[in-house]
């Protein structure tokens, strides 16, 4: 059985955030609803100050705590290892947002940080949050996967571009965006990543590129102590270490 996973090489990552905008575009997300965020951290003092960054998609955990806490099973794990939200079952209790250690989930029903509120510029008829002209075509949308323009009052998150990945030919081991045949099935962030810092493939196949990279370049997972066992691995190489902290604290009191 295929179990999709991602490897992100931090030594290559330039922190450009093309993954963020590609994801936002492909999935028509709201401003600030960054399914694929890049987090920056600044530490140290001149002349040896340090700037580091970390791209952060959904980890699509092996043991996802969000799935465990969802009282309606709206959040679920697919057979091919992707964590999705069924927008037709989600009750908007937001417990999954509490339980996700990686802060990857979003709830559109909040005050827009970038004003004026774009939802009022492109208002939707009926139950949808908004209706932008650049939305994903209807045939690609699937509320059962949490893909497309979301209904009101549900939680959203990165789907590994399930509308693309799920259509890949059976038995695909590596989704290489440079291969014109496989490119349409590859997640948007992987397709666009200019330094090619992202790899996507089958974690259950020992000869997949992602498995090889994890083995030979010492793939690590974020916050492994949570036991969630992410299916997104980072290669730290000589890059700045993965920021362990969720925020950089400046002493005891901020």
Partner 1 sequence: MTATAMDRSPAPLLAYDAKPDPISALLMLLGAAGAGLGLAFVFYALLVDGHAAFNTSSDMAWGSPIAFYLFFLLTSSGLSIVASLDTVFGLRVFHPVAKRCVWMSIVALVAGFSVLALEIGRPFRMLWALPVGMQFHSPMWWMGVFYSLDLALLCAKFWLMHTRRWHAPGTHGLSVLSFVISILAPGTLGLVFGMMAMRPAWYSPIMPMYFILTGFVGALAFVLFFTAVLPNQRRKPNEALFDVLLPRLFFVSLLAVIGMRFGQIVTTLWSNYEGMEAHWLSLDSALFKIEILVGLALPALLTATNGMRANRALVMLAGFAYLIGNFFGRLELLINGQKVPLFKGYWAGYVDYWPSLTEWMLVPAGIGIYLFLYGAGEWLLRLAEAEPRQGRTS
Partner 2 sequence: MSGLPLTSDRRDFLKSAAATGTVGATVGATVGAIGEIASSDAAPALAQPAVRPETKVTKNICHQCPARCGIDVYTTDGKVHAIYGSLDDPIANGKLCPKGHLGAYVLYDPDRFVGPMKRTNPRKGRDVDPGWQRISWDEALGIAAARLNALRAKGEQHRLAIVAGRGWGSTDAGLTDNFGKLFGTPNASLGHSSMCADASKRAKHLMDGNYSYNSYDYRNTNYLLNFGAAFLEAYRPYNNNLQVWGHIRTKAPKTKVTVVDVRVTPTGAAADRLLLIKPGTDGAMALAVAHEILINGWWERKFVGDFTDGVNRFKSGETLDAASFAERWTKGLIEWWNAELKDRTPEWAATITTIPAKDIRAVARELGTTRPAMVIFERGPTTHTNAIYNGMAIHALNAFVGAMYAVGGMASQMGVPYGALPWKADDYVDDAAKAAADRKMERIDRVKSADGPLWSNNIQGIPDSHLSGRPYKLDTAIFYSTNPIFSTPDCTRWEKALQDIFVIETSPFPSETAVFADLILPDHTYLERWQDAPTYPFEGYPITSLRVPAVKPIHDTKHFGDTLIELGKRIEGRMGEYYRQVGNIENVLRAIAKGFEKNPGDNGVNSLESWAAKGVWYKKPYFWRQIGGEFFEWDGSDYRKPMSAEEVKRRLLRTDSGKFEFRSSYLERYADFVNAKLGVAKERVGFPQWLAPRYAGKGDLFLVTPKTPLHAEGRSANIPQAISIYQPVSGGRNEMFLEIHPRTAAARRIKNGEQVRVATDIGGITVRAHLTPAARPDTVVLPFGFGHWAHGRWAKGRGQNPTEIIPNISDPISNLTSNYSVLVTVERVANQA
Binding site for partner 2 (CB under 8 A): 9, 11-12, 14-18, 20-22, 24-26, 28-29, 31-32, 34, 37-38, 40, 42-47, 49-53, 112-114, 116, 118, 121-122, 132-137, 139, 164, 167, 177-178, 180-181, 183-185, 188, 191-197, 239-240
180 binds, among partner 2, partner 1, none (CB under 5 to 8 A by kind): partner 2
Contacts of 233 (CB under 8 A, 6+ apart): 5, 6, 7, 8, 210, 213, 214, 219, 220, 221
User: Which one, 117 or 204, has the nearer CB to partner 1?
Assistant: 117
**Furthest-apart CA atoms within the chain: distance in Å:** 56
- Alpha-carbon distance 251 to 48, whole Å? 19
User: Which one, 120 or 139, has the nearer CB to partner 1?
Assistant: 120
The distance of closest approach from Cβ of residue 128 to partner 1 in the complex, given in angstroms and rounded to an integer, is: 12
24 binds, among partner 1, partner 2, none (CB under 5 to 8 A by kind): partner 2
- Alpha-carbon distance 4 to 200, whole Å? 7
- Alpha-carbon distance 136 to 128, whole Å? 13
The distance of closest approach from Cβ of residue 194 to partner 2 in the complex, given in angstroms and rounded to an integer, is: 3
178 binds, among partner 1, partner 2, none (CB under 5 to 8 A by kind): partner 2
The distance of closest approach from Cβ of residue 35 to partner 2 in the complex, given in angstroms and rounded to an integer, is: 12
Q: Please, where are the H alpha helices in the chain?
A: 18-27, 65-69, 95-99, 118-121, 162-165, 188-192, 209-216
User: Which one, 14 or 207, has the nearer CB to partner 2?
Assistant: 14
Site residues (vs partner 1, CB under 8 A): 33, 37-42, 53-54, 56, 65, 67-74, 89-95, 97-107, 109-112, 117, 152-155, 222-223, 226, 244-249, 252-254
93 binds, among partner 1, partner 2, none (CB under 5 to 8 A by kind): partner 1
Q: What are phi and psi of 155, to 5 degrees?
A: -95, 145
- Alpha-carbon distance 46 to 65, whole Å? 40
| CB 234 within 8 Å of CB 10 | yes
User: Which one, 173 or 239, has the nearer CB to partner 1?
Assistant: 239
- Alpha-carbon distance 23 to 139, whole Å? 18
User: Which one, 104 or 213, has the nearer CB to partner 1?
Assistant: 104
User: Which one, 48 or 245, has the nearer CB to partner 1?
Assistant: 245
| CB 6 within 8 Å of CB 199 | yes
């Amino acid at each position: 059985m295929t179990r999709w996973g991602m490897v992100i090489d931090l030594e290559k990552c330039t922190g450009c955030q093309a993954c963020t905008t590609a994801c936002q575009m492909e999935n028509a997300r709201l401003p600030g609803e960054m399914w694929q965020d890049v987090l920056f951290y600044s530490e140290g003092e001149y002349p040896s100050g340090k700037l580091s960054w970390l791209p952060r998609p959904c980890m699509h955990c092996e043991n996802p705590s969000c799935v465990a806490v969802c009282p309606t099973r709206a959040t679920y794990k697919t057979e091919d290892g992707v964590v999705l939200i069924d927008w037709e079952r989600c009750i908007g209790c937001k417990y999954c947002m509490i339980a996700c250690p990686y802060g990857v989930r979003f709830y559109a029903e909040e005050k827009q940080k970038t004003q004026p509120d774009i939802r009022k510029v492109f208002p939707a008829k009926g139950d949808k949050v908004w209706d932008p002209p650049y939305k994903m075509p209807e045939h690609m949308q699937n509320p059962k996967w949490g893909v497309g323009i979301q209904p009101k009052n549900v939680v959203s998150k990165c789907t590994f571009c399930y509308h693309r990945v799920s259509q890949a030919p059976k038995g695909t081991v590596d989704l290489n965006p440079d291969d014109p045949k496989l490119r349409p099935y590859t997640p948007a962030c992987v397709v666009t990543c200019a330094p090619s810092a992202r790899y996507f493939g089958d974690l259950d196949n020992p000869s997949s590129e992602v498995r090889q990279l994890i083995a030979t370049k010492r793939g690590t997972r974020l916050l492994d102590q949570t036991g969630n066992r992410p299916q997104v691995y980072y290669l730290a190489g000589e890059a700045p270490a993965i920021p362990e902290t969720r925020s950089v604290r400046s002493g005891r009191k901020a």
